[in-house]
Amino acid sequence: EPEVTQTPSHQVTQMGQEVILRCVPISNHLYFYWYRQILGQKVEFLVSFYNNEISEKSEIFDDQFSVERPDGSNFTLKIRSTKLEDSAMYFCASTWAANIAGGYYEQYFGPGTRLTVT
Amino acid sequence: QQQVKQSPQSLIVQKGGISIINCAYENTAFDYFPWYQQFPGKGPALLIAIRPDVSEKKEGRFTISFNKSAKQFSLHIMDSQPGDSATYFCAASMGGSQGNLIFGKGTKLSVKP
């Protein structure tokens, strides 16, 4: 069964450093998402990406964050200058289509990257 | 209001019992309500989902009940098993959005043998 993969599984970085989290969505999917989950808290939407541009973003997704699809398979989340409060599990998700056409399609989540900022 | 409120925070059920988790929302623009199951160290996985044009959806031991007028929906797990022990999140998505999900805070379910 196809799955979303994420690397690394755990990233430790110092405050102020840049990190890039990588995701390989399911190959025929067109919509991509990043979510984060601070330990013990709910999953929070960060950004959605379609047709090589950001579709929607939350208030969390400020200028320190950026996303990119550098090639046909990878989808990355970059945090330019990490803060302690960026420590969280980051999940990538993908789906074949969003709900614009009135239909809903399952978002498949990757296993996550645990980011620890020290 | 973008929130989805979920209760209880944790739930302990005996094997074979019924687990019930409740969620409520305010924004009537939400039109897709999935439930996700998450095991430790894993990403959330879709369990079952419902649209507001139906009041109930059943898949195996899992049932969503939806009350549009009360803006509430719930997950019922019948004949709960120890393997169901996980964290369950309700979520909602807004019509016209790119499908981004707004999650509840989660319910940690423990099913005792």
In which band, very low, low, confident or very high, does the pLDDT at B100 lie, cut at 50, 70 and 90?
Answer: confident
**What's the pLDDT at A100?**
52
Dump pLDDT digits (tens) for B30-77: 888 999 999 988 899 999 999 888 899 999 999 999 999 999 999 999
Give the three-state DSSP class for A30.
coil
Q: Does B102 touch chain A (CB under 8 A)?
A: yes
| Residue of B32, B43, B89 with shortest CB distance to A99 | B32
Residues of chain A contacting B5 with CB distance shorter than 8 Å: none
Rounded Cα distance, B7 and B106, in Å: 8
Please report, in angstroms and rounded to a whole number, the separation of the first and last CA atoms in chain A. Answer: 37
Per-residue pLDDT, A78: 98
pLDDT > 90 fraction of chain B, expressed in percent and rounded = 78
- The model's confidence at residue B1, banded by pLDDT at 50, 70 and 90, is low
Substitution target from A107, A108, A113 for chain B, most B beta carbons within 10 A: A107
Residue B35: how many CB atoms within 10 A of its CB?
23
State the Cα–Cα distance between residues A112 and A115, nearest whole angstrom: 9
Q: What per-residue confidence (pLDDT) applies to A97?
A: 73
Tell me the shortest Cα–Cα distance from A61 to chain B, in angstroms: 13
Which amino acid is it at B21? I
Give A100→chain B minimum CA distance, Å. Answer: 5
Indicate the residue of A42, A48, A108 with minimum beta-carbon distance to B103.
A42
Q: What is the pLDDT of residue A103?
A: 60
- Which of the residues A9, A48, A104, A106 would you substitute to probe the B interface, choosing the one with the greatest number of B C-beta atoms within 10 Å? A104
Beta-carbon separation of B103 and A44 below 8 A:
yes
Cα B62 from Cα B47, distance rounded (Å): 8
Asked whether the beta carbons of residue B96 and residue A44 sit closer than 8 angstroms, the reply is no
pLDDT tens over chain A, length 118 residues: 789 999 999 999 999 999 999 999 998 898 999 999 998 888 999 999 998 999 999 999 999 999 999 887 899 999 999 999 999 999 999 988 765 545 667 889 999 999 999 9
Cα distances from B64 to residues A42, A81, B9, in angstroms, run 20, 42, 18
Is the Cβ pair A98, B43 closer than 8 Å?
Answer: no
